[in-house]
């Protein structure tokens, strides 16, 4: 019996951590190299802004044009004067360097004002609008609502910010013209409506943004596109190029092709994933209510919540309806989840009604502001946490589970009791404790056929029995994210 075998399993985990993950340990490099094909953060650009907004930038106190909208910059002929649009939007978004406030710690440091200033000064903004905010009660597309939204976003784009619009509305725009009185419930008809409606929706957006000289481009995404590393990278690079060219990407789930088995189901979660994908500085969620409330707004005693400093701590205290309107798929639950995803990714967010889009983007006190609660991680870690699709599960013993929970610990074969599912090296897997609770997601370094022979063995044993190539963590800490 070796000296390692004399120690309890929990001590194996800690000792192996020191050996494999200490400074200069070559095990870390090997484990990381084994999943290079799944690196989501392959580009140097992914290192940008790894810390949450180092400062909450302030909008000039002298700017007095917060209520400017598209109507304010139209000439006598009703056509927007682009120069006026640029000037009025830029005035609102001018940063007063003397008032920049450094945020020294994340949780608890951001105030309501800080959060709204950060949104107003954001260089890249993701805006999500739901179906109910773009349609009439009958289900037909409401062109006036769409044009008002386009005007607010064009102001921001012409002021120099990058804008990504995540827009629902394809099914809602399509079922009316196809003769349906209400949204169909069967998948095949919904997909047919989406095929018709997406073209109508984009045509209206092109016209509305075109009046301001802003070009738009369509990007249809399925859930699988965000789960597969190569497709994720391709989508990210496409959007980055569009933004560099001054284009406003208009993103929607590809409803015509998505299956019920693997889909977002609403664009709230998609918008938070897109915000991570483009390294956005702010997320704005537009819906059919003006803000978040302590209970459904129509209930007696329901109170408006203007600021949420820590949505992860508060989310269980808010009672909301779980379903959306008759023309959409989301509800307040999905919007809170999107705000939570943004907050733990270091992205400030605001939720309000679509008619408040302009004021929200300018930092006005409308809707509900959600402060970031964590520092922004690398693109790879954010992908693992929110977009990866676990193919199996590793069951950690008590000692290994404690080490993983403590953070920055690799998962070693010595601390794993069981493996479930079929997965290949580089796939995402769940890491669970013995009670079945999810602890983390990670990229596994070995496939499901190799892992059983490794379980419970120390690094020294693995090297002696199976060879040097097996003397590394099952999931290296650089590829492991707590959930």
pLDDT digits (tens, 9 = 90+) for 156-192: 999 999 999 999 888 888 888 898 888 888 888 988 9
The answer to whether the annotation marks 330 as part of a ligand binding site is yes
Map residue 288 onto helix, strand or coil.
Answer: coil
Greater model confidence, 248 or 340: 248
- Between CA 345 and CA 130 the distance in angstroms is 22
Percent residues over pLDDT 90 in the chain: 49
Does 331 appear as a known binding residue? yes
CA atoms within 13 A on the CB side of 144: 3
Average pLDDT over residues 367-375: 90
The answer to whether 290 is a known ligand-binding residue is: no
Length reported for the chain: 483
Is 329 labelled as part of a ligand binding site? yes
| For helices 187-210 and 143-158, angle between their N-to-C axes, nearest 10 degrees | 50
pLDDT bracket for residue 43 (50, 70, 90): very low
Judge whether 429 is annotated as a binding position.
no
User: DSSP states of 250-283 as a string?
Assistant: EEEE-TTT-BTTB--SSHHHHHHHHHHHTT-SEE
State whether CATH 3.30.200.20 applies to domain 51-377: no
pLDDT, residue 83, reads 59
Residue 328 among known ligand-binding residues: no
Q: Tell whether the model's pLDDT for residue 377 goes beyond 80.
A: no
pLDDT band at 64 (very low <50, low <70, confident <90, very high): very low
Q: Does the structure show a pLDDT above 50 at 395? A: yes
Pairing verdict, β 307-308 and 368-370: parallel
254 annotated as ligand-binding: no
Residue 112, marked binder: no
pLDDT digits (tens, 9 = 90+) for 202-247: 999 999 999 999 999 999 988 777 777 888 899 999 999 999 999 9
- The answer, yes or no, to whether residue 97 has pLDDT greater than 60, is no
Q: Would you list the domain boundaries of the chain?
A: 9-41+387-482, 51-377
Give the β-pairing of 55-56 and 416-421: unpaired
Confirm or deny that 335 is annotated as ligand binding: yes
Is 128 annotated to bind a ligand? Reply is yes
Q: Which CATH class is domain 9-41+387-482?
A: mainly beta
Q: Report which of residues 332 and 122 the model is more confident about.
A: 122
Helix (H) or strand (E) holding 30: helix 26-33
What predicted TM-score, i.e. pTM, was given to this entire model? 0.72
Query: Would you say 332 and 268 are in contact if contact means Cβ atoms under 8 Å apart?
Result: no
Please check if 333 is assigned to a binding site: yes
């Amino acid at each position: 019996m070796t000296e390692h075998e004399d120690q309890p399993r929990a001590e194996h985990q800690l000792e192996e951590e020191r050996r494999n993950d200490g400074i200069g340990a070559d095990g870390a490099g090997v484990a990381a190299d084994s999943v290079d094909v799944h690196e989501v953060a392959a580009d140097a650009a992914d290192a940008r802004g790894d810390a949450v907004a180092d400062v909450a930038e302030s909008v000039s106190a002298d700017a007095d044009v917060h209520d400017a909208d598209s109507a304010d910059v139209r000439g006598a002929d009703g056509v927007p004067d682009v120069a006026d649009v640029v000037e009025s939007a830029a005035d609102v978004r001018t940063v007063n360097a003397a008032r920049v406030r450094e945020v020294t710690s994340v949780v608890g440091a951001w105030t309501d004002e800080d959060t709204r200033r950060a949104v107003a000064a954001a260089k890249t903004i993701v805006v999500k609008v739901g179906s109910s905010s773009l349609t009439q009660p009958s289900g037909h597309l409401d062109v006036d609502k769409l044009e008002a939204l386009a005007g607010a976003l064009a102001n921001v784009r012409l002021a120099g910010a990058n804008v990504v619009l995540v827009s629902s509305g394809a099914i809602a725009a399509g079922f009316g013209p196809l003769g349906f009185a209400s949204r169909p419930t069967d998948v095949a008809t919904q997909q047919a409506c989406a095929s018709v409606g997406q073209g109508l929706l984009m045509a209206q957006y092109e016209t509305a943004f075109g009046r301001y000289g802003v070009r738009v481009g369509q990007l249809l995404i399925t859930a699988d596109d965000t789960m597969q590393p190569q497709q994720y990278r391709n989508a990210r690079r496409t959007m980055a190029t569009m933004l560099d060219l001054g284009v406003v990407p208009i993103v929607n789930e590809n409803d015509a092709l998505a299956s019920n088995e693997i889909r977002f189901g609403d664009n709230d979660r998609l918008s938070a994933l897109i915000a991570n994908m483009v390294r956005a500085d702010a997320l704005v969620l537009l819906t059919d209510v003006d803000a978040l409330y302590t209970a459904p707004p129509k209930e007696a005693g329901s109170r408006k919540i203007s600021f949420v400093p820590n949505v992860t701590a508060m989310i269980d205290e808010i009672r909301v309806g779980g379903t959306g309107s008759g023309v959409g798929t989301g509800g307040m639950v999905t919007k809170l989840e999107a705000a939570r995803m943004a907050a733990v990714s270091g992205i400030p967010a605001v939720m309000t009604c679509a008619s408040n889009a302009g004021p929200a983007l300018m930092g006005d006190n409308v809707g509900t502001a959600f402060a970031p609660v964590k520092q922004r991680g690398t693109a790879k870690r954010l992908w693992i946490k929110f977009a990866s699709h676990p193919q199996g599960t590793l069951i950690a013993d008590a000692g290994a589970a404690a080490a993983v929970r403590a953070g920055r610990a690799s998962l070693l074969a010595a601390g794993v009791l069981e493996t479930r599912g079929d997965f290949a090296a580089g796939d995402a897997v769940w890491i669970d404790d013995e009670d079945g609770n999810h602890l983390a997601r990670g990229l596994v370094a070995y496939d499901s056929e190799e892992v059983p022979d490794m379980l419970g063995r120390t690094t020294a044993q693995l090297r002696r029995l199976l060879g040097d190539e097996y003397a590394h963590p099952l999931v290296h800490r650089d590829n492991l994210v707590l959930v």
